[in-house]
Structure 1
Protein backbone atom coordinates (compact mmCIF):
# COMPACT_ATOMS: atom_id res chain seq x y z
CA UNK A 1 0.00 0.00 0.00
CA UNK A 2 1.14 3.57 -0.58
CA UNK A 3 0.69 6.52 1.74
CA UNK A 4 1.65 10.14 2.04
CA UNK A 5 4.67 11.44 3.91
CA UNK A 6 2.76 13.10 6.78
CA UNK A 7 3.32 10.14 9.12
CA UNK A 8 5.67 10.77 12.00
CA UNK A 9 8.81 8.68 11.84
CA UNK A 10 8.87 5.41 13.79
CA UNK A 11 10.74 5.45 17.07
CA UNK A 12 14.13 3.93 16.37
CA UNK A 13 15.23 0.83 18.23
CA UNK A 14 18.40 1.00 20.31
CA UNK A 15 21.62 0.56 18.36
CA UNK A 16 24.15 -2.11 19.19
CA UNK A 17 26.47 -4.72 17.76
CA UNK A 18 24.42 -6.84 15.39
CA UNK A 19 25.22 -9.89 13.26
CA UNK A 20 25.11 -9.96 9.44
CA UNK A 21 21.65 -10.50 7.96
CA UNK A 22 21.71 -13.53 5.66
CA UNK A 23 19.52 -16.37 4.41
CA UNK A 24 20.76 -19.90 3.75
CA UNK A 25 19.40 -22.75 1.68
CA UNK A 26 18.51 -24.68 4.85
CA UNK A 27 16.23 -21.77 5.83
CA UNK A 28 13.80 -23.18 3.26
CA UNK A 29 13.33 -26.27 5.44
CA UNK A 30 9.71 -26.51 6.54
CA UNK A 31 8.43 -24.52 3.55
CA UNK A 32 6.73 -25.83 0.42
CA UNK A 33 8.79 -24.89 -2.64
CA UNK A 34 8.08 -23.40 -5.09
CA UNK A 35 5.38 -21.07 -3.72
CA UNK A 36 4.07 -17.53 -4.05
CA UNK A 37 2.83 -17.04 -0.46
CA UNK A 38 3.10 -13.72 1.33
CA UNK A 39 5.18 -13.54 4.51
CA UNK A 40 2.75 -13.64 7.45
CA UNK A 41 4.09 -13.45 11.01
CA UNK A 42 2.99 -13.13 14.63
CA UNK A 43 4.20 -10.10 16.58
CA UNK A 44 3.48 -8.47 19.94
CA UNK A 45 1.59 -5.26 19.23
CA UNK A 46 0.77 -3.21 22.30
CA UNK A 47 0.08 -5.76 25.03
CA UNK A 48 -1.10 -8.59 22.77
CA UNK A 49 0.42 -11.29 20.55
CA UNK A 50 -1.17 -10.64 17.17
CA UNK A 51 -1.36 -13.29 14.44
CA UNK A 52 -1.80 -12.88 10.65
CA UNK A 53 0.44 -9.81 10.35
CA UNK A 54 1.60 -9.45 6.74
CA UNK A 55 5.09 -8.11 6.02
CA UNK A 56 4.99 -6.01 2.83
CA UNK A 57 8.27 -4.44 1.75
CA UNK A 58 6.38 -2.49 -0.92
CA UNK A 59 4.19 -0.65 1.61
CA UNK A 60 5.14 2.82 2.80
CA UNK A 61 2.74 2.59 5.75
CA UNK A 62 1.62 0.31 8.55
CA UNK A 63 -2.09 -0.54 8.22
CA UNK A 64 -4.51 -1.92 10.81
CA UNK A 65 -7.72 -3.73 9.82
CA UNK A 66 -11.03 -4.02 11.74
CA UNK A 67 -10.26 -7.42 13.38
CA UNK A 68 -7.21 -6.03 15.15
CA UNK A 69 -8.84 -2.67 15.88
CA UNK A 70 -11.69 -4.42 17.70
CA UNK A 71 -9.42 -7.03 19.29
CA UNK A 72 -7.26 -4.36 20.92
CA UNK A 73 -10.40 -2.72 22.31
CA UNK A 74 -9.68 0.58 20.56
CA UNK A 75 -12.27 3.35 20.28
CA UNK A 76 -12.60 6.27 17.85
CA UNK A 77 -11.37 8.59 20.63
CA UNK A 78 -8.03 6.71 20.64
CA UNK A 79 -7.33 7.69 17.01
CA UNK A 80 -5.71 10.83 15.69
CA UNK A 81 -6.88 12.41 12.41
CA UNK A 82 -5.12 11.31 9.22
CA UNK A 83 -5.70 13.03 5.92
CA UNK A 84 -3.09 11.71 3.46
CA UNK A 85 -4.45 9.50 0.64
CA UNK A 86 -4.09 5.73 1.00
CA UNK A 87 -4.28 3.42 -2.01
CA UNK A 88 -5.28 -0.25 -1.89
CA UNK A 89 -3.65 -3.07 -3.88
CA UNK A 90 -6.15 -2.59 -6.71
CA UNK A 91 -5.40 1.13 -6.95
CA UNK A 92 -8.59 2.33 -5.26
CA UNK A 93 -8.68 5.08 -2.66
CA UNK A 94 -9.23 3.78 0.91
CA UNK A 95 -10.99 5.89 3.53
CA UNK A 96 -9.06 5.99 6.80
CA UNK A 97 -10.62 6.01 10.28
CA UNK A 98 -7.53 7.64 11.79
CA UNK A 99 -4.02 6.80 12.99
CA UNK A 100 -2.68 5.41 16.26
CA UNK A 101 0.90 4.93 17.49
CA UNK A 102 1.65 1.49 18.97
CA UNK A 103 4.80 -0.47 19.84
CA UNK A 104 5.76 -3.65 17.93
CA UNK A 105 8.06 -6.02 19.79
CA UNK A 106 10.52 -8.32 18.01
CA UNK A 107 12.63 -10.28 20.45
CA UNK A 108 14.07 -7.69 22.82
CA UNK A 109 13.65 -4.82 20.36
CA UNK A 110 10.62 -2.52 20.42
CA UNK A 111 9.75 -0.18 17.55
CA UNK A 112 6.89 2.32 17.78
CA UNK A 113 5.02 2.91 14.53
CA UNK A 114 1.93 4.74 13.32
CA UNK A 115 -0.85 2.37 12.27
CA UNK A 116 -3.38 3.76 9.79
CA UNK A 117 -6.76 2.27 10.74
CA UNK A 118 -9.01 1.41 7.79
CA UNK A 119 -12.51 -0.02 7.75
CA UNK A 120 -12.22 -2.57 4.95
CA UNK A 121 -11.97 -6.35 4.76
CA UNK A 122 -8.61 -8.11 4.74
CA UNK A 123 -7.53 -11.68 5.52
CA UNK A 124 -4.75 -10.09 7.58
CA UNK A 125 -5.04 -8.27 10.90
CA UNK A 126 -2.39 -5.72 9.93
CA UNK A 127 0.28 -4.88 7.36
CA UNK A 128 3.76 -3.76 8.37
CA UNK A 129 5.92 -2.16 5.71
CA UNK A 130 9.17 -0.32 5.08
CA UNK A 131 8.96 2.16 8.00
CA UNK A 132 8.90 -0.70 10.51
CA UNK A 133 11.39 -2.90 8.62
CA UNK A 134 13.97 -0.13 8.14
CA UNK A 135 13.71 1.12 11.71
CA UNK A 136 14.08 -2.41 13.06
CA UNK A 137 16.96 -3.08 10.69
CA UNK A 138 15.26 -6.18 9.34
CA UNK A 139 15.19 -8.06 6.03
CA UNK A 140 12.07 -10.01 5.05
CA UNK A 141 11.97 -12.86 2.54
CA UNK A 142 8.70 -14.29 1.29
CA UNK A 143 10.72 -17.00 -0.53
CA UNK A 144 12.28 -18.26 2.71
CA UNK A 145 9.18 -17.34 4.77
CA UNK A 146 11.43 -15.68 7.32
CA UNK A 147 12.22 -12.30 8.82
CA UNK A 148 15.86 -11.74 9.77
CA UNK A 149 16.62 -8.84 12.07
CA UNK A 150 19.67 -7.24 13.56
CA UNK A 151 18.51 -8.19 17.06
CA UNK A 152 21.51 -9.69 18.82
CA UNK A 153 21.08 -13.32 19.93
CA UNK A 154 20.41 -14.05 23.57
CA UNK A 155 23.49 -14.43 25.76
CA UNK A 156 23.00 -18.09 26.62
CA UNK A 157 26.24 -18.20 28.59
CA UNK A 158 25.01 -15.40 30.87
CA UNK A 159 21.68 -17.17 31.36
CA UNK A 160 23.44 -20.42 32.26
CA UNK A 161 25.67 -18.54 34.71
CA UNK A 162 22.57 -17.17 36.44
CA UNK A 163 21.16 -20.69 36.80
CA UNK A 164 24.46 -21.96 38.21
CA UNK A 165 24.08 -19.49 41.06
CA UNK A 166 20.77 -21.07 42.12
CA UNK A 167 20.26 -24.02 44.45
CA UNK A 168 17.38 -26.45 44.08
CA UNK A 169 15.38 -26.78 47.30
CA UNK A 170 12.94 -29.72 47.38
CA UNK A 171 9.73 -29.41 49.43
CA UNK A 172 8.73 -32.36 51.66
CA UNK A 173 11.02 -34.79 49.77
CA UNK A 174 8.81 -34.47 46.67
CA UNK A 175 11.11 -34.02 43.66
CA UNK A 176 8.33 -32.38 41.64
CA UNK A 177 7.84 -29.64 44.25
CA UNK A 178 10.87 -27.40 44.45
CA UNK A 179 12.15 -23.83 44.36
CA UNK A 180 15.39 -22.54 42.84
CA UNK A 181 16.92 -20.01 45.21
CA UNK A 182 20.03 -17.80 45.12
CA UNK A 183 22.63 -19.04 47.62
CA UNK A 184 23.07 -15.73 49.45
CA UNK A 185 19.40 -15.27 50.36
CA UNK A 186 18.64 -18.99 50.70
CA UNK A 187 17.90 -19.20 54.45
CA UNK A 188 15.90 -15.95 54.51
CA UNK A 189 13.83 -16.98 51.49
CA UNK A 190 13.31 -20.51 52.81
CA UNK A 191 11.87 -19.16 56.03
CA UNK A 192 9.56 -16.85 54.06
CA UNK A 193 8.41 -19.71 51.81
CA UNK A 194 7.76 -22.02 54.76
CA UNK A 195 5.54 -19.36 56.37
CA UNK A 196 3.57 -18.92 53.13
CA UNK A 197 3.57 -22.47 51.74
CA UNK A 198 -0.23 -22.55 51.75
CA UNK A 199 -0.46 -19.97 48.96
CA UNK A 200 1.30 -22.22 46.40
CA UNK A 201 -0.69 -24.67 44.29
CA UNK A 202 1.18 -27.78 43.18
CA UNK A 203 -1.85 -29.64 41.92
CA UNK A 204 -5.34 -28.74 40.57
CA UNK A 205 -6.79 -30.17 43.79
CA UNK A 206 -4.91 -27.45 45.74
CA UNK A 207 -6.90 -24.70 43.99
CA UNK A 208 -10.48 -25.53 44.95
CA UNK A 209 -13.44 -23.31 44.26
CA UNK A 210 -11.94 -20.71 41.91
CA UNK A 211 -14.62 -18.15 41.09
CA UNK A 212 -15.51 -18.33 37.34
CA UNK A 213 -15.60 -14.54 37.31
CA UNK A 214 -11.84 -14.63 38.03
CA UNK A 215 -10.88 -17.19 35.37
CA UNK A 216 -12.86 -19.67 33.29
CA UNK A 217 -11.82 -21.87 30.37
CA UNK A 218 -14.13 -22.11 27.38
CA UNK A 219 -13.92 -23.49 23.87
CA UNK A 220 -13.68 -20.88 21.13
CA UNK A 221 -16.28 -22.42 18.82
CA UNK A 222 -19.04 -21.01 16.68
CA UNK A 223 -22.38 -22.15 18.20
CA UNK A 224 -24.08 -21.94 14.80
CA UNK A 225 -21.81 -24.62 13.29
CA UNK A 226 -22.78 -28.27 13.63
CA UNK A 227 -20.07 -30.22 15.52
CA UNK A 228 -18.19 -32.88 13.56
CA UNK A 229 -18.26 -36.38 15.01
CA UNK A 230 -14.91 -38.17 15.13
CA UNK A 231 -14.73 -41.96 14.92
CA UNK A 232 -14.17 -43.23 18.49
CA UNK A 233 -10.73 -44.61 19.29
CA UNK A 234 -9.93 -46.75 22.30
CA UNK A 235 -6.75 -45.67 24.12
CA UNK A 236 -4.13 -48.19 25.21
CA UNK A 237 -4.23 -49.45 28.81
CA UNK A 238 -1.36 -47.15 29.72
CA UNK A 239 -3.05 -44.08 28.27
CA UNK A 240 -6.46 -45.06 29.64
CA UNK A 241 -5.02 -45.14 33.19
CA UNK A 242 -3.40 -41.72 32.70
CA UNK A 243 -6.63 -40.23 31.32
CA UNK A 244 -8.69 -41.64 34.21
CA UNK A 245 -6.25 -40.33 36.81
CA UNK A 246 -6.18 -36.83 35.28
CA UNK A 247 -9.97 -36.63 34.87
CA UNK A 248 -10.57 -37.75 38.47
CA UNK A 249 -8.05 -35.18 39.69
CA UNK A 250 -9.85 -32.34 37.86
CA UNK A 251 -13.26 -33.60 39.06
CA UNK A 252 -12.08 -33.60 42.70
CA UNK A 253 -10.83 -30.05 42.25
CA UNK A 254 -14.19 -28.96 40.84
CA UNK A 255 -12.50 -27.76 37.65
CA UNK A 256 -14.70 -29.97 35.45
CA UNK A 257 -18.00 -31.79 35.79
CA UNK A 258 -19.48 -34.81 34.07
CA UNK A 259 -22.03 -34.28 31.29
CA UNK A 260 -23.71 -36.66 28.86
CA UNK A 261 -24.11 -36.13 25.11
CA UNK A 262 -26.19 -38.32 22.78
CA UNK A 263 -23.23 -38.62 20.39
CA UNK A 264 -19.46 -38.83 20.68
CA UNK A 265 -17.80 -35.54 19.72
CA UNK A 266 -14.02 -35.86 20.10
CA UNK A 267 -11.30 -38.24 21.22
CA UNK A 268 -8.98 -37.62 24.15
CA UNK A 269 -5.41 -36.80 23.13
CA UNK A 270 -2.60 -37.70 25.55
CA UNK A 271 0.54 -35.56 25.27
CA UNK A 272 3.75 -36.48 27.10
CA UNK A 273 5.25 -33.67 29.19
CA UNK A 274 8.88 -32.58 28.99
CA UNK A 275 9.76 -34.39 32.20
CA UNK A 276 8.48 -37.65 30.70
CA UNK A 277 5.11 -37.98 32.47
Structure 2
Protein backbone atom coordinates (compact mmCIF):
# COMPACT_ATOMS: atom_id res chain seq x y z
CA UNK A 1 0.00 0.00 0.00
CA UNK A 2 1.36 3.41 -1.00
CA UNK A 3 1.00 6.35 1.40
CA UNK A 4 1.40 9.91 0.11
CA UNK A 5 3.13 12.24 2.64
CA UNK A 6 1.16 15.36 3.56
CA UNK A 7 4.28 17.31 4.47
CA UNK A 8 7.50 17.28 6.43
CA UNK A 9 8.73 18.67 9.73
CA UNK A 10 12.23 19.13 11.16
CA UNK A 11 12.55 18.37 14.88
CA UNK A 12 15.50 18.08 17.28
CA UNK A 13 15.75 14.51 18.62
CA UNK A 14 17.73 13.63 21.74
CA UNK A 15 18.55 10.00 22.55
CA UNK A 16 20.32 8.51 25.52
CA UNK A 17 20.64 9.47 29.16
CA UNK A 18 22.72 12.44 30.27
CA UNK A 19 25.65 12.80 29.83
CA UNK A 20 25.89 9.95 27.28
CA UNK A 21 23.39 11.43 24.84
CA UNK A 22 23.32 12.89 21.36
CA UNK A 23 21.03 15.50 19.78
CA UNK A 24 20.45 15.76 16.04
CA UNK A 25 18.03 17.62 13.78
CA UNK A 26 15.83 15.01 12.08
CA UNK A 27 13.51 15.53 9.11
CA UNK A 28 10.27 13.56 9.47
CA UNK A 29 7.73 12.87 6.74
CA UNK A 30 4.17 13.35 7.99
CA UNK A 31 1.62 10.78 6.79
CA UNK A 32 -2.08 10.44 7.52
CA UNK A 33 -2.51 6.77 8.42
CA UNK A 34 -2.93 4.53 11.46
CA UNK A 35 0.29 3.14 12.93
CA UNK A 36 1.54 1.49 16.08
CA UNK A 37 4.39 4.01 16.21
CA UNK A 38 4.42 7.73 16.74
CA UNK A 39 7.62 8.13 14.68
CA UNK A 40 10.04 5.95 12.73
CA UNK A 41 13.79 6.61 12.68
CA UNK A 42 15.35 5.74 9.33
CA UNK A 43 18.83 4.68 8.30
CA UNK A 44 20.08 8.21 7.47
CA UNK A 45 19.44 9.32 11.05
CA UNK A 46 20.96 6.16 12.54
CA UNK A 47 24.01 6.69 10.35
CA UNK A 48 24.34 10.31 11.49
CA UNK A 49 24.26 9.04 15.11
CA UNK A 50 26.86 6.39 14.23
CA UNK A 51 24.48 3.99 15.95
CA UNK A 52 24.74 0.21 16.19
CA UNK A 53 21.44 -1.61 16.55
CA UNK A 54 20.75 -5.08 17.94
CA UNK A 55 17.31 -6.56 17.30
CA UNK A 56 18.06 -9.49 19.60
CA UNK A 57 18.98 -7.29 22.58
CA UNK A 58 16.37 -4.63 21.67
CA UNK A 59 18.92 -1.86 22.14
CA UNK A 60 20.84 0.81 20.26
CA UNK A 61 24.35 1.98 21.09
CA UNK A 62 26.03 5.12 19.80
CA UNK A 63 29.22 7.09 20.39
CA UNK A 64 29.20 10.39 22.31
CA UNK A 65 31.86 12.75 23.65
CA UNK A 66 31.18 11.38 27.13
CA UNK A 67 31.39 7.72 26.15
CA UNK A 68 29.04 5.15 24.66
CA UNK A 69 25.33 5.88 25.01
CA UNK A 70 22.66 3.21 24.97
CA UNK A 71 18.89 3.08 24.53
CA UNK A 72 16.81 0.04 25.55
CA UNK A 73 13.37 -0.80 24.25
CA UNK A 74 10.59 -1.22 26.80
CA UNK A 75 8.15 -3.71 25.31
CA UNK A 76 5.68 -3.37 28.18
CA UNK A 77 5.44 0.43 27.84
CA UNK A 78 5.18 0.16 24.05
CA UNK A 79 2.36 -2.38 24.35
CA UNK A 80 0.47 -0.17 26.80
CA UNK A 81 0.77 2.82 24.44
CA UNK A 82 -0.44 0.69 21.53
CA UNK A 83 -3.51 -0.57 23.44
CA UNK A 84 -4.30 2.97 24.65
CA UNK A 85 -4.12 4.24 21.06
CA UNK A 86 -6.52 1.54 19.88
CA UNK A 87 -8.96 2.39 22.67
CA UNK A 88 -8.88 6.10 21.85
CA UNK A 89 -9.34 5.39 18.14
CA UNK A 90 -12.38 3.19 18.78
CA UNK A 91 -13.86 5.81 21.12
CA UNK A 92 -13.32 8.57 18.56
CA UNK A 93 -14.90 6.54 15.75
CA UNK A 94 -17.98 5.97 17.92
CA UNK A 95 -18.50 9.71 18.46
CA UNK A 96 -21.12 11.65 16.58
CA UNK A 97 -20.22 14.50 14.24
CA UNK A 98 -21.13 17.11 16.88
CA UNK A 99 -18.94 15.39 19.50
CA UNK A 100 -16.00 15.20 17.08
CA UNK A 101 -16.41 18.91 16.35
CA UNK A 102 -16.19 19.69 20.08
CA UNK A 103 -13.00 17.63 20.37
CA UNK A 104 -11.46 19.43 17.40
CA UNK A 105 -12.16 22.89 18.84
CA UNK A 106 -9.24 24.70 20.51
CA UNK A 107 -8.85 24.26 24.26
CA UNK A 108 -8.87 27.99 24.96
CA UNK A 109 -12.00 30.03 24.29
CA UNK A 110 -11.56 33.69 23.34
CA UNK A 111 -14.01 36.53 23.80
CA UNK A 112 -14.22 39.89 22.02
CA UNK A 113 -13.54 43.01 24.08
CA UNK A 114 -14.35 46.53 22.83
CA UNK A 115 -11.58 49.02 23.56
CA UNK A 116 -13.31 52.16 22.26
CA UNK A 117 -17.03 52.75 22.79
CA UNK A 118 -17.12 55.38 20.03
CA UNK A 119 -15.51 53.02 17.49
CA UNK A 120 -16.79 49.43 17.69
CA UNK A 121 -14.20 48.24 15.16
CA UNK A 122 -11.47 48.80 17.72
CA UNK A 123 -11.72 45.52 19.57
CA UNK A 124 -9.45 42.65 20.55
CA UNK A 125 -9.80 39.17 21.97
CA UNK A 126 -8.67 37.82 25.32
CA UNK A 127 -8.98 34.47 27.04
CA UNK A 128 -12.48 33.85 28.35
CA UNK A 129 -11.16 31.59 31.12
CA UNK A 130 -8.98 34.26 32.76
CA UNK A 131 -9.52 34.95 36.44
CA UNK A 132 -11.83 37.87 37.22
CA UNK A 133 -9.19 40.19 38.62
CA UNK A 134 -6.64 39.41 35.90
CA UNK A 135 -9.24 39.86 33.15
CA UNK A 136 -10.43 43.19 34.57
CA UNK A 137 -6.88 44.55 34.91
CA UNK A 138 -5.99 43.38 31.40
CA UNK A 139 -9.04 45.07 29.84
CA UNK A 140 -8.37 48.32 31.71
CA UNK A 141 -4.72 48.24 30.61
CA UNK A 142 -5.66 47.74 26.96
CA UNK A 143 -8.27 50.50 27.01
CA UNK A 144 -5.81 52.87 28.68
CA UNK A 145 -3.21 52.27 25.95
CA UNK A 146 -5.39 52.20 22.84
CA UNK A 147 -3.40 55.13 21.44
CA UNK A 148 -0.35 52.85 21.22
CA UNK A 149 -2.10 50.48 18.81
CA UNK A 150 -2.23 51.19 15.07
CA UNK A 151 -5.69 50.37 13.73
CA UNK A 152 -5.19 51.74 10.21
CA UNK A 153 -2.32 52.88 8.02
CA UNK A 154 -3.10 56.48 8.92
CA UNK A 155 -2.20 55.68 12.54
CA UNK A 156 1.39 54.98 11.47
CA UNK A 157 2.58 58.04 9.49
CA UNK A 158 6.07 56.70 8.87
CA UNK A 159 9.01 56.09 11.19
CA UNK A 160 12.00 58.36 11.62
CA UNK A 161 15.15 56.66 10.21
CA UNK A 162 16.98 57.79 13.35
CA UNK A 163 14.74 55.39 15.31
CA UNK A 164 15.15 52.31 13.17
CA UNK A 165 16.58 51.53 9.73
CA UNK A 166 16.71 48.17 7.99
CA UNK A 167 19.47 47.55 5.44
CA UNK A 168 19.63 44.64 3.00
CA UNK A 169 22.83 42.63 3.00
CA UNK A 170 23.09 42.13 -0.75
CA UNK A 171 26.17 40.39 -2.13
CA UNK A 172 28.25 42.96 -4.10
CA UNK A 173 28.78 40.43 -6.87
CA UNK A 174 25.03 39.93 -7.41
CA UNK A 175 23.55 41.47 -10.53
CA UNK A 176 20.37 43.54 -9.99
CA UNK A 177 17.24 41.94 -11.37
CA UNK A 178 14.28 43.83 -12.81
CA UNK A 179 11.34 41.48 -13.00
CA UNK A 180 9.13 41.74 -16.07
CA UNK A 181 5.96 43.66 -15.31
CA UNK A 182 2.97 41.42 -14.69
CA UNK A 183 -0.55 42.13 -15.91
CA UNK A 184 -3.37 41.76 -13.37
CA UNK A 185 -7.12 41.57 -13.72
CA UNK A 186 -9.14 44.73 -13.08
CA UNK A 187 -10.21 43.59 -9.62
CA UNK A 188 -6.62 43.02 -8.55
CA UNK A 189 -5.49 46.26 -10.17
CA UNK A 190 -8.01 48.19 -8.06
CA UNK A 191 -6.85 46.41 -4.90
CA UNK A 192 -3.18 47.15 -5.72
CA UNK A 193 -3.95 50.81 -6.40
CA UNK A 194 -5.82 51.21 -3.11
CA UNK A 195 -3.12 49.45 -1.08
CA UNK A 196 -0.26 51.40 -2.66
CA UNK A 197 -2.09 54.67 -2.03
CA UNK A 198 -2.53 53.75 1.63
CA UNK A 199 1.19 52.99 2.00
CA UNK A 200 2.20 56.21 0.24
CA UNK A 201 -0.15 58.27 2.43
CA UNK A 202 1.31 56.64 5.55
CA UNK A 203 4.84 57.31 4.19
CA UNK A 204 5.72 53.62 4.30
CA UNK A 205 6.88 53.68 0.69
CA UNK A 206 7.80 56.31 -1.88
CA UNK A 207 7.89 56.42 -5.65
CA UNK A 208 11.30 55.88 -7.22
CA UNK A 209 12.60 56.19 -10.77
CA UNK A 210 15.08 53.93 -12.54
CA UNK A 211 15.29 51.32 -9.74
CA UNK A 212 18.14 48.82 -9.73
CA UNK A 213 15.92 46.12 -8.25
CA UNK A 214 12.30 45.76 -9.31
CA UNK A 215 9.91 43.18 -7.83
CA UNK A 216 6.30 42.54 -8.79
CA UNK A 217 3.49 42.39 -6.29
CA UNK A 218 1.55 39.18 -5.62
CA UNK A 219 -2.10 39.34 -4.66
CA UNK A 220 -3.38 36.71 -2.23
CA UNK A 221 -7.05 36.25 -1.36
CA UNK A 222 -7.76 36.49 2.38
CA UNK A 223 -10.38 34.52 4.27
CA UNK A 224 -12.65 37.58 4.51
CA UNK A 225 -12.69 37.97 0.71
CA UNK A 226 -10.32 40.96 0.61
CA UNK A 227 -6.92 41.01 -1.07
CA UNK A 228 -3.54 40.92 0.64
CA UNK A 229 -0.70 42.53 -1.31
CA UNK A 230 2.66 40.76 -1.06
CA UNK A 231 5.91 41.31 -2.96
CA UNK A 232 7.84 38.71 -4.95
CA UNK A 233 11.31 39.11 -3.47
CA UNK A 234 12.56 35.76 -4.82
CA UNK A 235 15.41 37.27 -6.83
CA UNK A 236 16.38 39.63 -4.02
CA UNK A 237 16.42 36.80 -1.46
CA UNK A 238 18.78 34.80 -3.68
CA UNK A 239 21.18 37.74 -3.73
CA UNK A 240 21.25 38.01 0.08
CA UNK A 241 23.42 35.54 2.05
CA UNK A 242 21.60 33.30 4.49
CA UNK A 243 21.60 34.35 8.14
CA UNK A 244 23.80 32.12 10.28
CA UNK A 245 21.67 32.97 13.32
CA UNK A 246 18.02 32.87 12.24
CA UNK A 247 15.03 33.53 14.46
CA UNK A 248 14.30 30.97 17.20
CA UNK A 249 12.27 27.96 16.18
CA UNK A 250 8.60 27.87 17.11
CA UNK A 251 9.13 25.01 19.57
CA UNK A 252 11.69 27.12 21.44
CA UNK A 253 9.27 30.05 21.57
CA UNK A 254 6.51 27.81 22.93
CA UNK A 255 8.83 26.25 25.53
CA UNK A 256 9.89 29.71 26.71
CA UNK A 257 6.28 30.46 27.73
CA UNK A 258 6.24 27.59 30.26
CA UNK A 259 5.63 28.80 33.81
CA UNK A 260 3.99 32.09 32.76
CA UNK A 261 0.32 32.81 33.41
CA UNK A 262 -0.31 35.01 30.36
CA UNK A 263 0.77 34.84 26.72
CA UNK A 264 0.23 37.82 24.41
CA UNK A 265 0.10 37.72 20.61
CA UNK A 266 0.79 40.94 18.69
CA UNK A 267 -0.46 41.34 15.12
CA UNK A 268 1.76 43.90 13.39
CA UNK A 269 1.27 45.74 10.11
CA UNK A 270 3.41 44.48 7.24
CA UNK A 271 5.80 46.92 5.61
CA UNK A 272 7.45 47.26 2.22
CA UNK A 273 10.97 48.58 1.76
CA UNK A 274 10.85 52.19 0.44
CA UNK A 275 13.04 51.48 -2.61
CA UNK A 276 11.31 48.28 -3.74
CA UNK A 277 8.00 49.71 -4.91
CA UNK A 278 7.44 50.55 -8.54
TM-score tier after normalising by the smaller chain length: 0.3 to 0.5
Q: Which has the higher helix share?
A: 2
Larger Cα-atom Rg: 2
**When the two structures are superposed, what TM-score results if normalisation uses the length of structure 2?**
0.40
Instruction: Give the number of the structure whose residues are more often strand, by fraction.
Output: 1
Query: Per chain length, whose mean CA-contact separation is higher, i.e. which structure has more relative contact order (CA < 8 Å, sep 6+)?
Result: 1
